[in-house]
Amino acid sequence: MNELRLGPILIRNRLLIALYNFVESRLGIKEIFDLEIFYKLAPSHLGIFSCFGGITFFLFILQIITGTLLLVYYVPTTAHAYDSVVHITNNIPFGWLIRGFHHWGANLMIITVFIHMGKIYFHGIYKNPRELNWITGMVLLMTTLSFSFTGYLLPWTQLSYWATVVGTEIPSAVPVIGDYIKFLLRGGTDISQVTLTRFFAVHIMVLPAAIVIFIGMHILMIRRQGISGPL
Amino acid sequence: MNRISEDIIKEEISGGSRRSFLNISILISSAVVLGGIIYPVLKFLFPTATTVGMGEIETFSMSINEIPVGSAKIVRYKNRPAIVIRLKEQEIYALSAICTHLGCIVKWQEDKKELFCPCHAGRFDLYGNVLGGPPPKPLSVYKAVVEEDRILIKEV
């Protein structure tokens, strides 16, 4: 066998074919590649604004990689958070680069995610049958904004401290439960080590798990439904 | 050979070399891009002298009053744990505190006048020699001298 067709992919490399045959004979994975979601036909009407979902996804992958690298040196304590961020930026080789990617990637991700949403909204793509995808998109938007909010506190600068003071003050305007939400977010009456620790936990554990699940649903749905027609 | 088949052969040859040229170009540019990603990441992860503060101090000094007679103290000598034992008033011993078996920290047993490793029951005397247990090598011994009220530790 000189070539192998897996769904839309054609493989000619003999080593890859041998590897595939090894797995196929044990697990029987051929049917998976025949699934319709692997056949992506890009319609000719797509323009630059159709790319912003994919650009956001790319930036998200970048955030995972650079975030994991920053995690190696970052110290989530009020005494050392700022020092460790300065240490990463000034002393660690290429630390400025990794942190710069994480910082600018985060900012760009907010911009691209809103352009993506605007395109979907103004072209009416959210309408039947894509309402569920719009809803997962809204969850992803909230998750992305939560990433920004929690990540902003982590360097423990004056800017991040007071931004968190203001940001956690906002929900206290909600009638009846507002003060409880503020108390829950801060983990106390003030911004303290407890706040930093829970923002850190949410930023590196809770939100990544949530966003991966919803990105998976978002992409599977668009693959299932296909890209919408022209305006 | 007629004109047409000659043209086909020419086209196949030029097409083939163009294909291999493009393949090699893609391979090289991918390697450059990948290298440009992997190199900074490895540099970022690999500890350097400035990031861990590994400046070596050749001599170590401490006050003799920090250790009561008959007891011992674990100190940091050349960024590694060392044990300083004050056997008598002016009789000081200094050894590496890292057990040669699997790297645990040895402790001083005043009643037996021995160093004991709590991990796998290795035993050493004051000169670092193995008295029993699994350690394969003796402990490194340092030179400890008393000058006025200070203990100085140096390499032998």
Q: Is residue A18 part of a domain?
A: no
Give the pLDDT confidence of B12-53 residue by residue, as tens digits: 555 568 888 999 999 999 999 999 999 999 999 998 876 665
Q: Is B140 exposed, middle or buried (0-12, 13-18, 19+ CB in 10 A)?
A: middle
Q: How confident is the model at residue B5 (pLDDT cuts 50, 70, 90)?
A: low
Q: Is residue A32 part of a domain?
A: no
pLDDT at A2: 78
Q: Is residue A221 part of a domain?
A: yes
pLDDT at A34: 82
Give the pLDDT mean for B127-148. 92
Closest CA to B105 of B124, B127, B138, B83: B83
Gap from B49 CA to chain A (nearest CA, Å):
10
pLDDT averages per 10-residue partition of chain A, 231 residues: 81 91 92 80 87 96 97 95 95 95 97 96 93 97 97 96 94 94 94 96 97 96 87 76
User: The domain that contains A117 carries what CATH number?
Assistant: 1.20.810.10
* b/e map A124-141, b = 16+ CB within 10 Å: ebbeeebeebbebbeebe
CB A89 within 8 A of CB A125: no
- Please list the residues that pair with B85 across neighbouring strands: B72, B93
Closest residue in A to B40 (Cα) is A94
Residues of A in contact with B54 (CB under 8 A): none
pLDDT at B13: 55
Helix (H, G, I), strand (E, B) or coil at A221: helix
* b/e map B14-31, b = 16+ CB within 10 Å: eeeeeeeeeeeeeeeeee
CB B128 within 8 A of CB B82: no
Closest residue in B to A71 (Cα) is B45
Q: What is the CATH number of domain B53-155?
A: 2.102.10.10
Gap from A55 CA to chain B (nearest CA, Å):
19
Residue A200: give the domain boundaries.
Answer: 47-225
| Residue of higher predicted confidence among B58 and A188 | A188
pLDDT at A32: 85
pLDDT at B6: 63
- Residue B56 scores a pLDDT above 70: no
Enumerate the domain spans of chain B: 3-46, 53-155
Contact between A93 and B41 using a beta-carbon 8 Å cutoff: no
Q: Is residue A186 part of a domain?
A: yes
CB A49 within 8 A of CB A119: yes
- Looking at beta carbons, which pairs linking B79-86 to residues 24 or more positions away fall under 8 Å? B79/B54, B81/B105, B82/B142, B82/B153, B83/B107, B83/B108, B83/B115, B84/B144, B84/B151, B84/B153, B85/B126
Q: How confident is the model at residue B9 (pLDDT cuts 50, 70, 90)?
A: low
Mutate to test the interface with A, among B38, B39, B44 (most CBs of A within 10 A): B44
Q: Is residue A200 part of a domain?
A: yes
Tokens of A103: 């910082």
Q: Is residue A61 part of a domain?
A: yes
Domains contained in chain A, number: 1
Calculate ∠ Cα A104-A185-A66, nearest 5°.
25
Residues of B in contact with A72 (CB under 8 A): 44-45
pLDDT at A82: 96
